[in-house]
Amino acid sequence: MKSKELIFFKVLFVISALWNLIGASFGYFNTALTFNGFFNRELVDPLYYAIYQGAWGTTLVYFIGYSIVAYNPLKHTGIVIVGGIGKVGFAVSLLKFYLAGLAGPVVFIVIVGDFIFSLFFMYYFLRLYQTKESII
């Protein structure tokens, strides 16, 4: 893989890490407000609070993972596989909540953002394959 392209992927994963840090900052550290913004209802049940906060905790872990990938995109492909699956799964779940009338339109910020990152991740794997880099 060419040096310029490697720099592009490093920047991509730094941006992805920051995207997850921003989301986690809202969702994990201001859980009730984020829930209210997404679903237009109060988060009063302590069990649901813990589960929802834990989901955002996973996003915080993705921040760490993408930061590691940014350091060496050719070595940490497994993190991108797991993170990409998580991004698509989270976006699809939010879309289902929206279509069922359970989530407000603000969820489209996450849906669109995560799908865009997923497309870039697919391009990343395509380039790894085309340049005969090890994918795992």
Is residue 113 in some structural domain? yes
Measured distance CA(122)–CA(1) in Å, rounded: 16
Is residue 58 in some structural domain? yes
- H helices of 1-106, where? 3-29, 31-39, 46-71, 77-99
Is residue 11 in some structural domain? yes
Measured distance CA(112)–CA(105) in Å, rounded: 11
Q: What is the mean pLDDT of residues 27-55?
A: 96
Is residue 15 in some structural domain? yes
pTM: 0.91
Measured distance CA(85)–CA(79) in Å, rounded: 10
Structural domain of 108: 3-130
The mean pLDDT of the chain is: 96
Is residue 17 in some structural domain? yes
In contact, 58 and 24? CB cutoff 8 Å: no
Task: Say which DSSP state 100 is in.
Answer: T
Measured distance CA(15)–CA(39) in Å, rounded: 26
Is residue 60 in some structural domain? yes
Q: What is the mean pLDDT of residues 9-16?
A: 98
Is residue 135 in some structural domain? no
Q: Distance between the two ends of the chain, CA-based, in angstroms?
A: 16
**What six digits make up the tokens of 9?**
């992927």
- The total of structural domains in the chain comes to 1
